[in-house]
Amino acid sequence: MTSREILAELTPEEKASLCSGLDFWNLKSVERLGLSSIMVTDGPHGLRKQAGKGDHLGINDSVPATCFPTASAMACSFDRDLLREAGGAIAEECLAERVSVILGPGANIKRSPLCGRNFEYFSEDPFLTGEMASALIEGIQQKGVGTSLKHYAANNQETRRMTSDSVVDERALREIYLAGFERAVKKSRPWTVMCSYNRLNGTYACENKRLLSGILRDEWGFRGLVMTDWGAMDNRVDAVKASLDLEMPGSGGHNDMKILEALKNGVLSEGELDAVVLRIIELILASQKSLEKAKGISCDMDAHHALARKAAAKSAVLLKNEGMLPLAAGKSVAVIGVFAQVPRYQGAGSSRINPTRLEGAFDALRAAGFDAEYAPGYAADAGTDAEALVEEAAALAAKKDAALVFAGLPDEYESEGFDRSSLDMPESHNTLIEAVAAANPNTAVVLHLGAPVLLPWADKVKGILLMYLGGQAAGAAAADLLSGAANPEGRLAESWPLSLEDTPPYRWYPGKGKTAEYRESIFAGYRHYDAAGKDTAYPFGYGLSYTSFEYSRLELDRTSFKKGGALQARVTVKNTGNRAGAETVQIYVAAKSSTILRAPRELKGFVKVFLKPGESKTVNVTLDERSFAYYNAPHACWALEGGVYTVLAGSGSAGIHLRADVEVEGDGLEKALAPLREKAADYFSQGKGEFGVSGAAFEALLGRPLPPSEKKPGEPFTINDTLEDIKNTETGRRMAENFRAAAGEQAGSDPGLRLMMEKMVMEMPLRSIAMFSPDLTPEKIEALIGSINAG
């Protein structure tokens, strides 16, 4: 039967039932019509299939799977083919486990380095985000497994993520926060898209008709299924009207009944419901076909581990090297830090993979023939004598030819569910590095973490190798790079600031009360640092190699550009060193002069090229209309401002080597933005201090007054308030105590998991508490809220 034939045979009850999950991971079936239950599972850098009790927080055990580097690492590879290859391996493991859709990749922009979930996201740049997401989706889906592009949209913090209202001006929304999703949807056609928890400009993403229907489906041409994040549903009927198809994990039938009631009362039309149900049927049928084809499939897990090792090595970024790396053969090495034995290789939360194996750098260095000796340097718990560990490590370092310190951020410092409050590494890690560097001048640091940190000791060490969270083979990959078996080729997918105060949203992140104001507008990441003339510790696109490269002859195939056209930019790159290596040629576009708000330059293309010593290659990048366009909010369209533009070729946003100009024919629509020069003057006068924007200037950009950030005095509580909101009431206090205790019990002795659980429980809307306490039905929650308001 076809999908439409099945739809015609369904009863209203069956249609409503299909609109929500059977349990945490499975969709419902209609066996009489040949629709089986299919399984979706967490990702995105590996398979997290829970064979037993399900949860969406990484608490309960999952089946062994290859843990590839997280998105924060893989994005630094700038390697589309590598992402496709990793995606194919993930898909094979999904098929072997009879999983139909893996929940990822995450395409949210890294608005602030403080976001606790940044390790799951690719970049601060939407073009790079879209390219990396597209490649991973293609790799997974070409094997017959679906993906779920998430979290759509403007979900750029963990603090109050389920209730916060992201207040974003239209231009920033289109150019920064939606552009990566748009590119991935148009290029790779993901089977599904997952809506985010938050509100966007006043409306929850799950019921935001403009976001889901107007932009995603009508403008971008998306034809797949849209599902909620787990527990993100607010108003089920409004969500159907907005073209939200699948609620996960379901509400025990409560919202299915609401759909039927709305259908009966004429609030919801049969056509609106049928459109949603048809997409669910089509997903199930496509999944059944793939699973049938893949029967009996097996995976070469050794090959997948080798791929994870290659991916980690290709994604690592060499931040500093004063001739110390690679390590010379025959040298004695002090290997220091717990992460050298057990690397921090992935983040905490729903993406936590149960790896098939785990390799540490210390063992890998010894296997490579190095005379290596180990000292822990710092403790995994607070009960150990930290001073004695540092003294032991420094003494070992003093006896060796070189010292390697493995440090970074433990799980309790960054995780899904909460944001960091500073950019500092643990004091114990910084103290250790200082002591080892003082004991041995030939010291290098290997960093395992998910996001930028401050490096107060950077000028005291000779080398810094950034592994990010490099997956289950991160330790072995680090050894490959340190020994010279591999040449570092990663380039930063995000800027590393000199201070928290320098970051674009510093004054407004993560917002207060009910709102998160994106006052920095289009100036995310390097766009801000370049516009304000601020130095960074390490700029976007930066990365060193064990060889060197020379750029020459940037050529454009035309000197003028019109709407609908395409321009070819060609650059020649030569390896001028004595090792084979890879260079990422980055192409930026800049308007020479502009009457509107613009970043000094924006990434619009890149090519990764592998070169032998002395070898030259010419690479080509195509620039299209969007490469020169901006989003014109008054006219609600992409527009071209006329004038001279410079095409720049280089090795990073701050490493431009070549320039060439092109004349662009404009459409004149920028005249509608002229009043902003006066009304939003703050944006045109960025300085090197903190980025300050008045409420009036931001309102001019928004085109409307700012929404209130706090509840009004006496305003009643609703199902969208949190335990944090009601904790000062007697009922709320008791509920908070009970749920905190339950969260702590679930987390056990894991400090990172405990912090995540407690934070999430307190910031979860009351409507979602049933996920943790099935006895609290929606009716009981409404009654509790009624008693609090009456009290």
Burial class of residue 633 in the structure, from the number of CB atoms within 10 Å of its CB (0-12 exposed, 13-18 middle, 19+ buried): buried
CA distances to 194, 527, 600, 685, 686 from 533, rounded to whole Å, are: 37, 10, 10, 11, 9
Residues with Cβ within 8 Å of 215's Cβ and at least 6 positions away in sequence, in order, are: 178
Q: Give the three-state DSSP class for 48.
A: strand
CA–CA distance, 159 with 458 (Å, rounded to integer): 30
Coil, helix or strand for 638?
strand
Length of the chain: 791
* Token code pair at residue 572: 């020649």
* Residue 666 Cα distances to 257, 592, 594, 604, angstroms: 53, 14, 12, 19
CB distance 299 to 162 below 8 Å: no
Bridge partners, 375 (sequence order): 336
Q: Contact at 8 Å (CB) between 613 and 605?
A: no
229 catalytic, yes or no? yes
Alpha carbon 420 to chain centroid distance?
A: 15
- The whole-angstrom separation of Cα 63 and Cα 589 is 46
Task: Find where tokens 């002395």 sit.
Answer: 614
Q: Return the closest-CA partner of residue 492 out of 622, 659, 654, 339.
A: 654
* Residue 253: exposure state from Cβ atoms within 10 A (0-12, 13-18, ≥19): exposed
Which amino acid does the sequence have at 268? L
> 467 in helix, strand or coil?
coil
CA-to-CA dists, residue 199 to 20, 153, 237, 515, 653, angstroms: 21, 9, 17, 9, 32
The closest of 577, 611, 601 to 649, measured between CA atoms, is 601
Place of tokens 């006052």: 519
Which run of H or of E encompasses 38? none
C-beta of residue 175 within 8 angstroms of C-beta of residue 598: no
Q: How far apart are the C-alpha atoms of 192 and 206, rounded to whole Å?
A: 14
Distance, CA of 446 to chain centre: 22
Return the bridge partners of 659, or none: 648
Q: CA neighbours within 13 Å on the CB side: how many for 472?
A: 22
Q: Which residues sit opposite 26 in a β-bridge?
A: 39
Q: Sign of the CA dihedral 440, 443, 448, 451?
A: positive
Angstrom CA distances, 240 to 194, 212, 256, 272, stand at: 14, 10, 11, 7
Do 449 and 429 meet the contact criterion of CB atoms below 8 Å apart?
no
Contact between 193 and 224 (Cβ < 8 Å):
yes
Catalytic residue among 229, 234, 245, 480: 229
Closest CA to 355 of 363, 364, 344: 344
Distance separating alpha carbons of residues 704 and 454, to the nearest angstrom: 38
Give the active site residues.
229
